[in-house]
Structure 1
Amino acid sequence: MKVKLEDVCERGSSNLKQSDIIDKSGEYPIYGAAGYLGNIDFYHQDKPYIAVVKDGAGIGRTTLHPAKSSVIGTMQYLLPKENVLPEYLYYVVKYMHLEKYFTGATIPHIYFKDYKNEEFNLDTLDRQIEIVGILKKVEDIIEFRRQELDKLDNLIKARFVEMFGDTVSNPKGWERMTFRKASCRLSDGPFGSNLKSEHYSDTGIRVIRLGNIGVGKFIDNDQSYIPEAHYERLKKYTCKSGEIVIGTLGEPNLRACIVPDYVGIAVNKADCVHYIPNPELLNSLFVCQYINCPETQQLASGMIHGQTRSRVSSGQIAEMPIFIPPIELQNMFADFVKQVNKSKFYWLSKKYLISNRT
């Protein structure tokens, strides 16, 4: 039978911030938008539940969590009622693509009141069990593909450390510069009234948002555009394929990726830093991996500021150090990354085919 989302779950909220759990320990897991954060000595929910990212990067992402666990405040609890299995509700909400309900120009939000009337077919509990079993088998295959991709990512990380060393301790003694000094461009996106949600259109010039910037990968789920007429007012924020964009808000607070070829010309939004390295000093693929190294992210974690929305500013990034190995060595690393990315494309295509059959 047809039901609304609010018929099968209740919403709950969390007031926990990531900074609240630093140095905490315990037996109960806590999760954020990017996944598991650690263990603490208390929990918010005593039964399994669904969580939806409601603020910032990854908005609309849906996850299933175990009993006796918690999430931080950027996520919305959806607590299943007796007529629905938590696993069934998870699959239902996941395929609703709640990101379409976002509001807010600088920091996107979604609210339960806006998506609570989403309708779907509620099967009997026996049928729910059957459907969940089928979908779990499909997800197991997808998870295997993901693990293969993770192995390739780890191969890139290991190669970086082998060639260049730790980004903070700099054991090979490379020359250091600030990100600004080693750049041709370092610029945050437009704030305030220059780019608001009412400026968006169905087609036009692509807007690169926080949700598009993953750790070493461009996430294409969240597609936003502005008309060419409005782009003329924002031309100084132009980003192009092959250039670097850096996310400074969300999880992790510092992450970078390359704008893919199919995006073409775009503009970066607030809290999305556009970075073009000096090509005589730095290779873009090298810079991207440098930023995404755990040691660099740990360094950036000490710069995080903001009470409600923790971020790293473009000014702080500008003054961060980056070491400068010989450009020939960086280019060798970039060639290695390109070869690995060909293998990643193979596994991604298999994952895509499976996902689109479900």
Structure 2
Amino acid sequence: MMKVKLGDVCERGSSNLKQSDVVDKQGDYPIYGAAGYIGNVDFYHQEKPYVAVVKDGAGIGRTTLCSAKSSVIGTMQYLLPKDNVLPEYLYYVVRHMHLEKYFTGATIPHIYFKDYKNEEFSLDSLNKQNEIVQTLAKIEKSIETRQIEIKLLDELIKARFVEMFGSPVSNPKKWQVEAMNDVAPIVNYAGSLGDDVWLLNLDMVEAQTGEIIEYLIVSKEMVGNSTCTFDTTNVLYSKLRPYLNKVVIPDRCGYATSELLPLKPLPTKLNREYLTFLLRTDDFVKLISAKVTGAKMPRVSMKDFKNFDVPIPPLSLQNEFAAFVSQVDKSKVV
């Protein structure tokens, strides 16, 4: 084992492909973007497996292991392994480095190979690298299995919601209703947030579950203008691409992209758990997804959203549901 720099084991490569260049293309060769696999095309730029890193925009530093005979779009940086490192080993190493710490630029963040190529790590022999890769792959397989179990628990919560309250759209239990804007208005947190703050972007929120994929802590000076503030009384709802169903119950204060609405449920009317799972129900997602504006960047019609009639069951029943959610959440961490 010896200490080496990242630049000792890989070469950088760049791509000039745009996502629009691969729309409606077909073929045998995969192409990747910041969010992962995009689709297949009839060409490829790299003959061998490699690592790609998001270098521009949201998600900078995110690392992907890409297959042979594939390509990436221009927001990604190729890291092409030399003969002294396995692509899989390089992937784990780079992912552990958290290259997002090298970002520059407030409006559109960037990271540059010249800034992180001197990151040091321990390089083992190829045989040892293979052993480590196999071990980590087994661990990740166990994690994937656990994630499937967690998804089933999330489905259990959704089923329990419908059982207790019915569809929030058809309201079969005939609960009293009030407009969303009256019982869960958009309210930014007005308190102090300190010098180092949590900054939540949409790509850091898992679709359908609202789980936080990545916590990004930045200095307050690095927070852009297009943000909102929130605390632990808010529910964050994504108005962009509502079909992705990104709804968050934050566990701390912070800043978020302005694409997330900081809803503040009135404690005399709603609790956060009830509101969150109402917004996540299939019926609500289907309804609100049909009421969007903008073709390329579909956003929820705020008029329709604010005027939605929210069924308001008794708080005692909502609190019973919240206790059920809490119990299931405990099962997720066992």
TM above 0.5, yes or no, is yes
What's 2:84 paired with?
Answer: 83
The letter for the 2-side match of 1:239 is F
Distance 1:9-1:165 versus aligned 2 partners, 3 A rule: farther
Provide the C-alpha distance between the structure 1 equivalents of 2:238 and 2:135, rounded to a whole number of angstroms: 36
Q: In structure 2, do the counterparts of structure 1 residues 154 and 3 end up closer, same or farther at CA, with 3 Å as the change threshold?
A: same
State the match for 2:211 in structure 1: 217
CA change 1:344–1:90 in 2 (3 A) is same
Cα distance in 2 between the residues matched to 1:300 and 1:188 = 27
> What amino acid maps onto 1:344 in structure 2?
K
Aligned partner of 2:217: which letter?
Q
Deviations 1:19-45 (A, max 9, x none): 964x776655555544455x4343544
Give the whole-Å Cα distance in 1 for the aligned partners of 2:107 and 2:177. Answer: 33
Inter-CA distance 34–342: structure 2 relative to 1 (3 Å threshold): farther
Counterpart position of 1:283: 271
- Distance in 2 (CA, whole Å) between partners of 1:303 and 1:19 is 26
Q: Contact 2:270–2:318 (CA<8 Å) still a contact in 1?
A: yes
RMSD of aligned residue pairs (Cα, Å): 4.4
Alignment match, 2:246: 255
Determine the structure 2 residue equivalent to 1:192.
Answer: none
More deviation in 79-88 or 69-78? 69-78
Residues 305 and 110 (structure 1), Cα distance of their counterparts in 2 relative to 1, 3 Å cut: farther
Deviating more after overlay: 76-85 vs 95-104: 76-85
> CA offsets per residue over residues 237-264 of structure 1, 9 Å max, x none?
652214222456799876221111xx2x
Q: Residues of 2 paired with 1:126 and 1:240: CA distance?
A: 49
Structure scoring higher RCO (CA < 8 A, sep ≥ 6) equals 1
Q: Between 248-257 and 4-13, report the one with greater CA deviation.
A: 248-257
How far residue 292 of structure 1 moved from its aligned partner, in angstroms, is 4.5
Residue 326 (1) aligns with residue 317 (2): no
C-alpha displacement of 1:64: 1.6
Q: Does the 8 A contact of 1:285 with 1:334 survive in 2?
A: yes
Count of aligned pairs between the two proteins: 319
- Counterpart selection for 2:12 from 2, 5, 10: 10
Q: Secondary structure at the match of 1:185?
A: coil
Higher mean Cα deviation, 123-132 or 52-61? 52-61
SS in 2 for 1:95: helix
**Rg: which structure is higher?**
2
Tell me the TM-score normalized by structure 2. 0.72
Report the Cα distance in structure 1 between the residues aligned to 2:291 and 2:83, rounded to whole angstroms.
44
Given the two structures, how large is their TM-score scaled by the length of structure 1?
0.68
Partner Cα distance (2:120, 2:22) in 1: 36
Pair 1:301–1:184, CA change in 2 (3 A): closer
2: distance between equivalents of 1:70 and 1:303? Answer: 33
